[in-house]
Structure 1
Amino acid sequence: MKKIWLSKDYLYENVEWNNSGSSIESSIYKERAYEIWNRANILVENNESLFDLTDGITNLKRSINHRLKSIEKIYNFKKIVFLEKPKGYLELLENFNIIKPYLIKIIMEIRNLIEHEDSPPPSQQRCKELVDMVWYFLKSTDSLVSNLITDFEFVINDCNGEETPYGGTIELDYKHHKSVKIFGWFPLEVMDIKQKKDGFICIYSEDINTKDKWKNIEYHRDKLDTDLWINGVIYTKDFEYHNFISQLLASLR
């Protein structure tokens, strides 16, 4: 493979992201958490005894845990390596702008007090509030466990926000998080085909072409003779991948 270097800023500034994904076949990732949540809701609503409220809180924690385990099984976020990586999983998901952990921690702390210190459950009104909190948590993460987005198309805009002829596609590998595929059109001024530079990222390219290869195809006619079509791989260890994937996931909202 040939090495070619791309300006990091080019993938962060003036970029408009679009995505296309396929549905996750197993509905268990989404629906099971709601089944457990519904059991919690019924127990809290009935409130025939303190045991109902206690069991309701326990099932809320089970619902949260099921969703967290589903997210990790699909995306393998724990495999992403970076400096100052949070130890807690909730904090890790917060780092990727997926959740805010404060309310979830409150529910888990209440459940732990009940389980390990035999503390009484909160009032029915407070339990109803916790039921609603978990419902909103599930809703906010439904898209992650319903649609697996692996391909992110990007278009580069100029400083005025106008679309340029440049852009391409990033393909993520959630199973290993070792590399990302990238292909598309880039202007020569954001590339260096000879040597590494500060602020540039290495692409191991399988294919480098100019528009001469596609003289009769409409999509390529607006490219300059110096523009390059790149098809290659970027290794995640070579750049701030955790920040980059956070940006991509944010584009899904």
Structure 2
Amino acid sequence: MKIRFVSEELLKWNISVSSSSFNNHTSMLRPYEMIKHSESLITPSSSEFNLADGIANLKRAINHRLQIIESIYKLKDIKFKNAPKGGYLELLECYGLAKPYIIKLLMEIRNRIEHDDAKPPKKERCQELLDITWYFLKSTDKLVYSITNSVLIEPVEKQGYFGKYGCDMHVDFSKKVFKMSGWIPSSFITTKKENSFFQINCTVMHDGEFWRNKDSNIHKDKTKEDIWIIGNLKVSEEQKKEFLIKILTAN
């Protein structure tokens, strides 16, 4: 095994989903069933009690979705610098996955109803909160239904490396283990630890000369300046966070 360090410039390349698994567990539908029930409670003719029950059900739907997200990705496990001290919605915001303000407002309204016997908002406001909850579920559907297993990292044309390089990064969310394989320019890899570099423990590493006279149809464009690597990444909590942001927001 060879220990090397790879430039984080790699993360400025284009990142797209290359492999994902589909989660079709029946529990995925549960928040929408809760919203459906809230729709039956939040109507023009609803009483205050019905509106209060409808709001409580919206909070249940959101909490259910948040629990599913955490069960899959276990984002709480990463203790990065300046991590939010608020709730889980703030944590999702750090990863670019949610905007918490309106959802937090719904939570506060529900808590005032539950703990202070406050009256629910007007029917029009309750309907707005129902719609907001629906949009929150829709915006996080991809997270719970299509779970990214690996992403493809490729340079865009203007970066000068277009068409020659590319890496696949695989992630195990439960263990926070990252693996990488692919071609990178030799200028992106070093034997010494530097700022803005991440460590890779290489199980395979060679340059383009490895393929000379082996098969003229494979990697024939590669030279000594091109490095093939396969290995496991050994990264800090901050780097884990940055990798996950890239992976979770990839299309």
**TM-score, length-scaled by structure 2:** 0.92
Q: Distance in 2 between matches of 1:151 and 1:4?
A: 21
Cα separation, partners in 2 of 1:52 and 1:198, compared to 1, 3 Å: closer
Q: Distance in 2 between matches of 1:120 and 1:103?
A: 19
**Is the 8 Å Cα contact of residues 203 and 231 (structure 2) preserved in structure 1?**
yes
Residue in structure 1 matched with residue 7 of structure 2 by the alignment: 7
Cα separation, partners in 2 of 1:160 and 1:79, compared to 1, 3 Å: closer
Residue in structure 2 matched with residue 132 of structure 1 by the alignment: 131
Gaps of 5+ in 1: none
The aligned length equals: 247
**TM-score, length-scaled by structure 1:** 0.91
Note if 1:205 corresponds to 2:232: no
Gaps of 5+ in 2: none
Aligned pairs (5 A) from 1:47-196: 47-87=45-85, 88-159=87-158, 163-177=162-176, 179-192=177-190, 194-196=191-193
Q: Distance in 1 between matches of 2:111 and 2:205?
A: 57
**Is the 8 Å Cα contact of residues 201 and 238 (structure 1) preserved in structure 2?**
no
Cα separation, partners in 2 of 1:173 and 1:219, compared to 1, 3 Å: same
**Is the 8 Å Cα contact of residues 202 and 238 (structure 1) preserved in structure 2?**
no
Once the two structures are aligned, what percentage of the paired residues are identical? Answer: 38
Cα separation, partners in 2 of 1:40 and 1:69, compared to 1, 3 Å: same
**Is the 8 Å Cα contact of residues 46 and 52 (structure 1) preserved in structure 2?**
no
SS in 1 for 2:165: strand
Tell me by how many angstroms 1:223 deviates.
1.1
Tell me by how many angstroms 1:164 deviates.
3.3
Aligned residue type for 1:4 = R
**Is the 8 Å Cα contact of residues 40 and 131 (structure 1) preserved in structure 2?**
yes
Structure 1 segments (4+ residues) deviating >4 Å:
none
SS in 2 for 1:159: helix
Residue in structure 2 matched with residue 230 of structure 1 by the alignment: 229
Tell me by how many angstroms 1:28 deviates.
1.5
Q: Distance in 1 between matches of 2:146 and 2:100?
A: 23
Cα separation, partners in 2 of 1:5 and 1:48, compared to 1, 3 Å: closer
Aligned residue type for 1:58 = A
